[in-house]
Structure 1
Amino acid sequence: MSLSHHYFLRGNLLAFAVIFCSLASMTFAQDKEVDAESAKRMLKVKEKNKGNSQKKNSDITNATETQENSNVFTLGTLTITGTPISSAEETESVIDRDKINLFEKKDVGTALSKVPGVLYNYAQGGRYESNVVVRGYGLRYMPIYIDGIPVYIPYDGYSDLGRFTTADISSIHVAKGYSSVMYGHNTMGGAINIVTMKPRSELDVTGTLGIGQGDSKEENINVGSLQDKWYIQMGASNLSSGYTNLSKSFVGKDSAGRLIDSKKYAYTTKDRRGSIKLGLLPNETDEYAVSYSKQKAKKYPSSGVGGFEPTTWEWPKWDRETLSYVSNTYFLDDKFYIKPRVYEDRFKNTLIGFGGSRNGSHYDDKAFGSSVELGTSIISHNQLKLLLSYKREKHSSFNTYEGSSIKIPGDSTEATQKFYSIALEDTINFNDYWEAQFGIIHTKRKASATGIGNNTAALIQKYPEVNSMLAPTIRTTDPEAALFYKPTKDHTFRASIARKTRFPSFKEAYSNYSSGSTGKCPSGQSGCTSGQIIPRVTLQNPGLKPENAMNYEIGYSGMPIDGMTVEAALFLNQAKKAISRTAIDYNNFPGYAITQTTNLPGVTERKGFELGVDYVINNKLIVGGTYTFLRARNKSDPSIHLADIPKHFGTLYADINPVEWLHIIPTMDARSNSYYSTSGSERNSGYTLYGLKFSFTPASLKYVSFNVGAENIFNKNYAKYDASYASPGRYIYSNIRVDFY
Structure 2
Amino acid sequence: MIKNSSSFKISKISAALLLCFSVAYADQTTQPTDEIESTEQTTKSNVFTLGTVVVSASVPQSSELFESYIGKETIDLLEAKDVGEALQYTPGVFYDSPIASGNSGRFESGVTVRGYGLRYVPIYVDGIPVYIPYDGYSDMGRFSTADISSIQVAKGYSSVMYGHNTMGGAINIVTMKPRSKFDFSGVIGTGTGDVKETSINIGTLQENWYLQAGFSDRTRKYTRLADNYVGKDAEGQFVNSDKYLYNTKDRRANIKLGWTPNATDEYVLSYSKQKAKKYPGHIGHKGFIPTTWKWPKWDRETISFVSTTWLMDNKIYIKPRLYYDTYKNTLTGWRGDPKGSHYDDKAFGASVEIGTTAINNHLVKMMLSYKDETHESFDTFPNSSLHMPDSDSKATQKFYSIALEDTITFTEQWEAQLGVVYTKRKATASDIGINTQHLLNTYPSANSMLAPSYDSTDFQAALFYKPTDLDTFRFTVGKKTRFPSFKESYSNYAGGSERKCPKGQTGCKPGEFVPSITLQNPGLKPESALNIELGYNGTPIDGLTMDTALFYSQSKDAIDRSDFDYNTFPGYAFVNPLTYLEKLNAKVLS
- TM-score by length of structure 1 reads 0.72
Residue 192 of structure 1 and its aligned partner are, at CA, apart by 0.5
Contact 1:73 1:147 in 2 (8 A): yes
Q: Residues 598, 222 of structure 1: CA spacing in aligned structure 2 closer, same or farther, 3 A cutoff?
A: farther
Query: Which residue of 164, 167, 171 corresponds with 2:143?
Result: 164
| Number of the residue aligned with 1:479 | 459
| Alignment partners' CA distance in 2, 1:72 and 1:370 | 23
One-letter code of the match for 1:566? M
| Number of the residue aligned with 1:95 | 70
The alignment partner of 2:161 has SS state of helix
| Alignment partners' CA distance in 2, 1:47 and 1:553 | 22
Confirm whether residue 567 of structure 1 aligns to residue 542 of structure 2: no
Confirm whether residue 224 of structure 1 aligns to residue 193 of structure 2: no
Query: Which residue of 73, 80, 102 corresponds with 1:105?
Result: 80
One-letter code of the match for 2:397? Q
Contact 1:579 1:598 in 2 (8 A): no
Q: Residues 96, 604 of structure 1: CA spacing in aligned structure 2 closer, same or farther, 3 A cutoff?
A: farther
The alignment partner of 1:220 has SS state of strand
| Number of the residue aligned with 1:189 | 168
Aligned length: 552
| Number of the residue aligned with 1:325 | 305
Confirm whether residue 307 of structure 1 aligns to residue 287 of structure 2: yes
Confirm whether residue 78 of structure 1 aligns to residue 53 of structure 2: yes
| Alignment partners' CA distance in 2, 1:516 and 1:420 | 38
One-letter code of the match for 2:156? G
Higher helix proportion = 1
Query: Which residue of 240, 244, 247 corresponds with 2:219?
Result: 240
Q: Over the residues paired in the alignment, what is the CA RMSD in angstroms?
A: 2.1
| Number of the residue aligned with 2:21 | none
- TM-score by length of structure 2 reads 0.90
Query: Which residue of 353, 356, 359 corresponds with 1:376?
Result: 356
Query: Which residue of 242, 264, 279 corresponds with 1:263?
Result: 242
Residue 82 of structure 1 and its aligned partner are, at CA, apart by 5.5
Contact 2:29 2:66 in 1 (8 A): no
| Alignment partners' CA distance in 1, 2:463 and 2:568 | 50
Residue 472 of structure 1 and its aligned partner are, at CA, apart by 0.9
| Alignment partners' CA distance in 2, 1:252 and 1:279 | 56
Residue 522 of structure 1 and its aligned partner are, at CA, apart by 1.3
- Please say which structure displays the higher CA radius of gyration: 1
| Number of the residue aligned with 2:474 | 494
| Number of the residue aligned with 1:426 | 406
Query: Which residue of 131, 136, 143 corresponds with 2:122?
Result: 143
Query: Which residue of 314, 337, 340 corresponds with 1:360?
Result: 340
One-letter code of the match for 2:493? Y
The alignment partner of 2:564 has SS state of coil
Larger relative contact order, structure 1 or 2 (CA cutoff 8 Å, min sep 6): 2
| Alignment partners' CA distance in 1, 2:437 and 2:94 | 41
| Alignment partners' CA distance in 2, 1:222 and 1:324 | 19
Q: Residues 496, 502 of structure 1: CA spacing in aligned structure 2 closer, same or farther, 3 A cutoff?
A: same
| Number of the residue aligned with 2:274 | 295
| Alignment partners' CA distance in 2, 1:598 and 1:157 | 22
One-letter code of the match for 1:73? F
| Alignment partners' CA distance in 2, 1:269 and 1:230 | 37
| Alignment partners' CA distance in 1, 2:77 and 2:276 | 26
Q: Residues 322, 331 of structure 1: CA spacing in aligned structure 2 closer, same or farther, 3 A cutoff?
A: same
| Number of the residue aligned with 1:538 | 518
Residue 589 of structure 1 and its aligned partner are, at CA, apart by 2.0
Listed one character per residue, the Cα deviations across residues 371-405 of structure 1 (whole Å, up to 9, x for unaligned) are 00000000000000000000000000000001222
The alignment partner of 1:269 has SS state of strand
Q: Residues 252, 161 of structure 1: CA spacing in aligned structure 2 closer, same or farther, 3 A cutoff?
A: farther
Confirm whether residue 391 of structure 1 aligns to residue 366 of structure 2: no
Contact 2:353 2:366 in 1 (8 A): yes
Residue 527 of structure 1 and its aligned partner are, at CA, apart by 1.7
The alignment partner of 2:119 has SS state of helix
Q: Residues 154, 277 of structure 1: CA spacing in aligned structure 2 closer, same or farther, 3 A cutoff?
A: same
Listed one character per residue, the Cα deviations across residues 618-653 of structure 1 (whole Å, up to 9, x for unaligned) are xxxxxxxxxxxxx8xxxxxxxxxxxxxxxxxxxxxx
| Alignment partners' CA distance in 2, 1:412 and 1:46 | 51
Contact 2:534 2:549 in 1 (8 A): yes
Confirm whether residue 120 of structure 1 aligns to residue 99 of structure 2: no
- Once structures 1 and 2 are overlaid, which stretch shifts more, 75-84 or 310-319? 75-84
Contact 1:436 1:481 in 2 (8 A): yes
| Alignment partners' CA distance in 2, 1:261 and 1:425 | 59
Confirm whether residue 465 of structure 1 aligns to residue 440 of structure 2: no
Contact 1:80 1:328 in 2 (8 A): no
One-letter code of the match for 1:225? T
The alignment partner of 2:241 has SS state of coil
Unaligned 5+ segments in structure 2 are 1-24, 33-41
Q: Residues 49, 591 of structure 1: CA spacing in aligned structure 2 closer, same or farther, 3 A cutoff?
A: closer
Contact 1:497 1:553 in 2 (8 A): yes
